[in-house]
A and B are shown apart, each in its own frame.
Chain A
């Protein structure tokens, strides 16, 4: 069974998607249940995966490798694409996160009334592709899933979104597509430069591969190939590997998003319906970060060293710039969107430090931010559902009428601003510690990042104060709509809050998983 576990995670949602599509519309009430049940089963499977994950190993586990496409390229040799899945310490936390957030998202989707069939079909398609993207260990397969996430996302924003949904959806789609093209270029370049040493001997010719394991190994590079790490091929006097790395930085930087490639995010978030925002912030941003670690840093460690300043700089600028922008927002959801940019900056900083503390911290930050940002967007959704309004200044003193909601908001906000025992803290602490431990980065870079911590406390507390404290008032006679959480919302927010506290107090739940793999990962540098 274990051998098919990862495939099950991907194909169960896809099957669910097809099933929803095939069922007649008279069954419309069952669609949400299908997507919920699929998400629950997936999460249970992921728990099995998590429990059976061997924490002592740094290598890929639960590997499934099947030959998929073998294509002759004439003189160039043979192109080999595998259906290759597996998890190690770097993507295991992400798979776990996906399971959690997708389940929460499917509960949040219960409020969707418009065109349920299409919605749930797309949502399940998205679920499958997201997990596929994290679990894929073949660059081609990864890219396939990476692209496949765009399609449902485009429709989910474009059809079920807010007023400017078409603009936001198009912007999101095109922006991400540009990034994908950059990644595609590098992918082709890499596969042309790398051969599968074993099969090449076996078949007596060059076998180009997309296998992650082959791509990380410098020995597999074909002599005189474009991206060969030692015999540098120059383009305009600069090593081709530089170009490849820059393309990857931009490609994944868009997805992350890192300043200055971030402007699609506030628009997409503001227009997306709540469950889609949750998934977008909770998981999709992490795909960018994951790509950064696994592909940009994993395949180009030699270049990554020289780009430490740039990556760390992008991280720190994202942290501070995002925080300043968040401070200026009047729209709650936009504020949260900019805070996401700020918090994802820590991932870049931790990664750029290339220390065990920093990289583990970055992975933890990805996980922690996934939980917290999901909560934050649910919070924004709770208010929007009741009033169709998100402006901070339209609400005051909500805590006196919505005590349960206020408690959840407090946990979410303090989780995001980095209070110890909640997940934001460990991520920030260890990414900054990584920055300090790093031999390359000067200390002031990490110190600047701390400015972001102060600012984030500022905007979250300020929002808390403006919206939740004081005497109760809501603009446009919305007072009677401000009811406290219903059962469904309590389940979502409080289970995330409980998980946040558990992972905040026991960071070993993540660090144990990631530790060995990160160590092995950094040995490559």
Chain B
């Protein structure tokens, strides 16, 4: 079977999953819903691993979709490495999110609806990934927006949730308008929406024509879509609010896949981005990265912190594209998808354990209670912090290196601010991850190094004991053996029984966040399998990576010290941090409030006024035309009655009077007639004489 057929069948599966689950959501049991949905997803993952590239440069398979008069619009499926990568990534993470949700969403009355939406989301996301033209990308782009809307507002009885959903949709719509205009300009300029054609045309363009204002405009407008979807400044306001949705959804949509769609789009169309556009992207990414990280520093909500860190990391990816290191940015997209999904899933397990408490100040010491989650969380956090041996280190530092490389090629020293900010943010991310791990999992007095060493020791002891047990099986007496075995089995069972769907998913994500998964040499991103497939921009600034390690470790240390200090004076009652600046940062720079004031409020103020205008002035004009007509008619009637009709009456009256007067002449007396005749004769004679 050809690859595109496999993908199409796969999409049909998800469509079936969506419609069937939506239709049968109340009839089926939770187990059957979950199993069906996971089965569909599992088949999808198998498919995504099974298909092979027929041609390394990528294929485009086109089907005719519709004609507008003579102009053909096609359904294009673009199959290249990027497609396969994302195709696998989306489904793989979705699979584990679905497994996780089995437990997390257990007992929710809308369990079926939840899984139906997830199926629709995966469908739409695959749609974006495989689309070969901008119209299709835009359609699926909006569809994932719909899924995000539905899933953020999943608990629709919560007002904050539905508010967040609406905000997410509207903010994305604003960005999409830019994207939309960009598409129209592409169509006008290139005469097609086909991505491959556009990219090919752009690649043969001269530098001057690539730098022309129109190409820059197109690039910036398409970037608008990315700004909204990937939560870049100034449209990042929706993402922290979107955390109102179920946590697995945050993991899948608002951390790993959908928000990365903007990066994916930029990577797809990278050749048409002019140098100016790239510079703008680098700057926007840098600002987003920095301000997002600042906000993450002061959060108390476990999910909000992760959301801000997602914003920050997406900013880093945009910087990556902006400095021309597209594949490095994609590499970070992949590693980030795993470790951030892992973080969110682990956070979900924490929240579940805490009975839906998300305030980190009320947590602590969870290491003892949910050890597995503690490990998975720490691994993923280490990956995010950029600690060596973990995946984040490879990709993050590769971007920093690329940024340095890029800055060194620029004419001015000022460009070095971008890699410098990258480094700073890298330290900040280490800081806030440490802070979070500390607040959530450690006892407030614990020394993490001791803890790690002690837990490693106990782990070692356990393992040693077990190996000993296995080795010593034959030597010992049978009774002892049975006892030991019994105890071991008990331990093992205990341990295994701890691993529910939630833990399992977190473990998988944590494993995928370990550096060895990506590169056998954990210090060299270049040796990763990723850069074997995707071309890597060669670098001579490897030393920057070592600085980055130092910065990250420094961040961890500072995070530990400051959080320990902070933990003594944590006040649960206070919702917001003290201090103007901290509060300012905590509230995400009051951007939401700003937009509320300058966009939403005037809109809500003016629309009733416009409606009043409509009712009073326009409709008033219509009605007054009506009233005037009636008034005119009354006037006419008055004229009719009092002038015309009275004139007629006058005529009639006069006639009647004349008649009554002349009637007196005809009185039947011969004398009168004779006199009349006589008078008339005289009068006639007089007349004749006068003539």
Give chain A's interface residues, CB within 8 Å of chain B: 171, 174-175, 259-260, 262-264, 321, 324-325, 327-329, 356-357, 360-361, 397, 399-400, 407, 414, 419-421, 425, 429-430, 432-433, 436-437, 446-447, 450, 453-455, 457-458, 461-462, 465, 468-471, 506-508, 511-512, 515-516, 518-519
Residue count of chain B within 8 Å CB distance of chain A: 46
Task: With CB as the reference atom, state the residue of chain B lying closest to A471.
Answer: B157
A327 near B603 (CB under 8 angstroms)? yes
Please report the C-alpha to C-alpha distance between residue A462 and residue B166 in the assembled complex, in whole angstroms.
Answer: 8
* Contact residues, B147-176 vs A (CB, 8 A): 149, 153, 156-157, 159, 162-163, 166, 169-170, 173-174
Measured CB to CB, the closest approach of chain A to B170, in angstroms, equals 6
Q: Which of B163, B177, B185 contacts A465 (CB 8 A)?
A: B163
> Please, could you name 7 A-B residue pairs with CB atoms under 8 Å apart, sorted by A?
A419-B146, A420-B142, A457-B170, A465-B163, A468-B156, A469-B159, A506-B66
Measured CB to CB, the closest approach of chain B to A153, in angstroms, equals 18
B610 near A321 (CB under 8 angstroms)? yes
Q: Which residues of A contact B156 (CB under 8 A)?
A: 397, 399-400, 468-470
Please report the C-alpha to C-alpha distance between residue A329 and residue B604 in the assembled complex, in whole angstroms.
Answer: 11
Please report the C-alpha to C-alpha distance between residue A515 and residue B64 in the assembled complex, in whole angstroms.
Answer: 15
Please report the C-alpha to C-alpha distance between residue A421 and residue B614 in the assembled complex, in whole angstroms.
Answer: 33
A263 near B619 (CB under 8 angstroms)? yes
Is B39 an interface residue when CB atoms closer than 8 A count as contact? no
Q: Which residues of A contact B438 (CB under 8 A)?
A: none
A470 near B157 (CB under 8 angstroms)? yes
Given contact pairs A259-B618, A446-B184, A469-B162, enumerate 6 new A-B contacts (beta carbons under 8 Å).
A262-B618, A263-B614, A419-B146, A430-B68, A458-B603, A465-B166
Please report the C-alpha to C-alpha distance between residue A421 and residue B120 in the assembled complex, in whole angstroms.
Answer: 13
Q: Which of B157, B163, B610 contacts A324 (CB 8 A)?
A: B610
Given A175-B622, A321-B610, A437-B188, CB of A518 within 8 Å of CB of B177: no
Measured CB to CB, the closest approach of chain A to B66, in angstroms, equals 3
Give chain B's interface residues, CB within 8 Å of chain A: 22, 65-71, 135, 138-140, 142-143, 146, 149, 153, 156-157, 159, 162-163, 166, 169-170, 173-174, 177, 180-181, 184-185, 187-188, 603-604, 606-608, 610-611, 614, 618-619, 622, 626
Measured CB to CB, the closest approach of chain B to A267, in angstroms, equals 8
B68 near A360 (CB under 8 angstroms)? yes
Q: Which residues of B contact A174 (CB under 8 A)?
A: 626
A327 near B607 (CB under 8 angstroms)? yes
Please report the C-alpha to C-alpha distance between residue A175 and residue B69 in the assembled complex, in whole angstroms.
Answer: 36
A432 near B184 (CB under 8 angstroms)? yes
Q: Which of B65, B69, B157, B614 contacts A325 (CB 8 A)?
A: B614
Q: Which of B22, B139, B157 contacts A425 (CB 8 A)?
A: B139
Q: Which residues of A contact B146 (CB under 8 A)?
A: 414, 419
B611 near A420 (CB under 8 angstroms)? no
Task: With CB as the reference atom, state the residue of chain B lying closest to A327.
Answer: B607
A470 near B139 (CB under 8 angstroms)? no
Q: Which of B143, B174, B608 contacts A421 (CB 8 A)?
A: B143
Q: Which residues of B contact A414 (CB under 8 A)?
A: 146
For the residues of A in contact with B, the DSSP-based class is helix
B69 near A327 (CB under 8 angstroms)? no
For the residues of B in contact with A, the DSSP-based class is helix
Measured CB to CB, the closest approach of chain B to A68, in angstroms, equals 34
Q: Which residues of B contact A468 (CB under 8 A)?
A: 156
Q: Which residues of A contact B157 (CB under 8 A)?
A: 397, 400, 469-471
Which of B65, B70, B607 has the most chain A CB atoms inside 10 A of its CB? B607
Please report the C-alpha to C-alpha distance between residue A506 and residue B173 in the assembled complex, in whole angstroms.
Answer: 23
B185 near A356 (CB under 8 angstroms)? no
Q: Which residues of A contact B611 (CB under 8 A)?
A: 324-325, 328-329
Q: Which of A361, A421, A437, A450 contacts B177 (CB 8 A)?
A: A450
Task: With CB as the reference atom, state the residue of chain A lying closest to B161.
Answer: A469
A324 near B607 (CB under 8 angstroms)? yes
A457 near B169 (CB under 8 angstroms)? yes
Please report the C-alpha to C-alpha distance between residue A64 and residue B258 in the assembled complex, in whole angstroms.
Answer: 55
Given A469-B162, A518-B69, CB of A461 within 8 Å of CB of B170: yes
Q: Which residues of B contact A262 (CB under 8 A)?
A: 618
Which of B66, B149, B159, B174 has the most chain A CB atoms inside 10 A of its CB? B66
Measured CB to CB, the closest approach of chain A to B657, in angstroms, equals 46
Q: Which residues of A contact B163 (CB under 8 A)?
A: 465
Which of B149, B159, B604, B614 has the most chain A CB atoms inside 10 A of its CB? B614
Q: Which residues of A contact B619 (CB under 8 A)?
A: 263
Q: Which of B143, B159, B622 contacts A419 (CB 8 A)?
A: B143
Please report the C-alpha to C-alpha distance between residue A415 and residue B515 in the assembled complex, in whole angstroms.
Answer: 46
Q: Which residues of A contact B608 (CB under 8 A)?
A: 328
Task: With CB as the reference atom, state the residue of chain B lying closest to A426.
Answer: B66
Task: With CB as the reference atom, state the residue of chain A lying closest to B178.
Answer: A450
A519 near B69 (CB under 8 angstroms)? yes
B185 near A436 (CB under 8 angstroms)? yes
Please report the C-alpha to C-alpha distance between residue A436 and residue B184 in the assembled complex, in whole angstroms.
Answer: 7
Q: Which residues of A contact B66 (CB under 8 A)?
A: 506-508, 511-512
Given A436-B184, A447-B181, A458-B603, CB of A469 within 8 Å of CB of B153: yes
Given A329-B611, A421-B139, CB of A457 within 8 Å of CB of B69: no
Given A397-B157, A457-B170, A465-B162, CB of A263 within 8 Å of CB of B607: no
Q: Which residues of A contact B170 (CB under 8 A)?
A: 454, 457-458, 461
Measured CB to CB, the closest approach of chain A to B200, in angstroms, equals 23
A324 near B187 (CB under 8 angstroms)? no
Q: Which residues of B contact A419 (CB under 8 A)?
A: 142-143, 146
Q: Which residues of B contact A515 (CB under 8 A)?
A: 67-70
Q: Which residues of B contact A507 (CB under 8 A)?
A: 65-66
Measured CB to CB, the closest approach of chain A to B450, in angstroms, equals 49
Please report the C-alpha to C-alpha distance between residue A450 and residue B68 in the assembled complex, in whole angstroms.
Answer: 21
A420 near B138 (CB under 8 angstroms)? yes
Q: Which residues of B contact A397 (CB under 8 A)?
A: 156-157
Q: Which residues of B contact A171 (CB under 8 A)?
A: 622, 626
Measured CB to CB, the closest approach of chain A to B76, in angstroms, equals 16
Q: Which residues of A contact B143 (CB under 8 A)?
A: 419-421
Please report the C-alpha to C-alpha distance between residue A499 and residue B135 in the assembled complex, in whole angstroms.
Answer: 22
Q: Which residues of B contact A518 (CB under 8 A)?
A: 69
Q: Which residues of A contact B181 (CB under 8 A)?
A: 436, 447, 450
Q: Which residues of B contact A447 (CB under 8 A)?
A: 181
Measured CB to CB, the closest approach of chain A to B574, in angstroms, equals 29
Please report the C-alpha to C-alpha distance between residue A356 and residue B607 in the assembled complex, in whole angstroms.
Answer: 34
Please report the C-alpha to C-alpha distance between residue A506 and residue B73 in the assembled complex, in whole angstroms.
Answer: 11
9 residue pairs, one from A and one from B, having the closest CB atoms: A420-B139, A508-B66, A328-B611, A263-B619, A328-B607, A356-B69, A327-B607, A469-B156, A469-B162
Please report the C-alpha to C-alpha distance between residue A468 and residue B22 in the assembled complex, in whole angstroms.
Answer: 18
Task: With CB as the reference atom, state the residue of chain A lying closest to B22.
Answer: A407
Task: With CB as the reference atom, state the residue of chain B lying closest to A436.
Answer: B184
Q: Which residues of B contact A437 (CB under 8 A)?
A: 187-188
Which of A260, A446, A457 has the most chain B CB atoms inside 10 A of its CB? A457
Measured CB to CB, the closest approach of chain B to A166, in angstroms, equals 13
Task: With CB as the reference atom, state the residue of chain B lying closest to A359.
Answer: B69
Task: With CB as the reference atom, state the residue of chain A lying closest to B612.
Answer: A328
Q: Which residues of A contact B166 (CB under 8 A)?
A: 461-462, 465
Please report the C-alpha to C-alpha distance between residue A339 and residue B107 in the assembled complex, in whole angstroms.
Answer: 40
Measured CB to CB, the closest approach of chain B to A244, in angstroms, equals 23
Q: Which residues of B contact A259 (CB under 8 A)?
A: 618
Please report the C-alpha to C-alpha distance between residue A321 and residue B149 in the assembled complex, in whole angstroms.
Answer: 27
Measured CB to CB, the closest approach of chain B to A136, in angstroms, equals 25
Please report the C-alpha to C-alpha distance between residue A429 and residue B193 in the assembled complex, in whole angstroms.
Answer: 13
Please report the C-alpha to C-alpha distance between residue A175 and residue B170 in the assembled complex, in whole angstroms.
Answer: 37
Please report the C-alpha to C-alpha distance between residue A519 and residue B69 in the assembled complex, in whole angstroms.
Answer: 6
Please report the C-alpha to C-alpha distance between residue A420 and residue B188 in the assembled complex, in whole angstroms.
Answer: 21
Q: Which residues of A contact B71 (CB under 8 A)?
A: 356-357
